[in-house]
Amino acid sequence: MEAIVANVRSGIGVQGWPRPTVRGQAQIPGLLTLSGGVTRIGYVSSDEIDQYLADLEEPKRSTLRRLRQTILEVVPEAEEGISYHVPAFRVDGKVIAGFAAFKNHLSYLPHSGSVFPLLRDEVASYKTSKGALQFPVDAPLPKPLVERLIRGRIAQAFPERPDG
Query: Domains, the chain, ranges and CATH?
Result: 2-44 (no CATH), 46-157 (3.90.1150.200)
Strands laid side by side in the 106-109 sheet: 79-83, 86-91, 94-101, 106-109, 133-135, 127-128
Average pLDDT over residues 79-91: 93
CA–CA gap between residue 139 and residue 61 (Å, rounded): 11
| pLDDT at residue 45 in the model | 72
Bridge partners, 127 (sequence order)? 134
pTM over 0.85: no
Q: Please say if the pLDDT value at position 2 is more than 50.
A: no
Report percent pLDDT > 70 for the chain.
Answer: 71
CA–CA gap between residue 45 and residue 62 (Å, rounded): 20
CA–CA gap between residue 118 and residue 161 (Å, rounded): 18
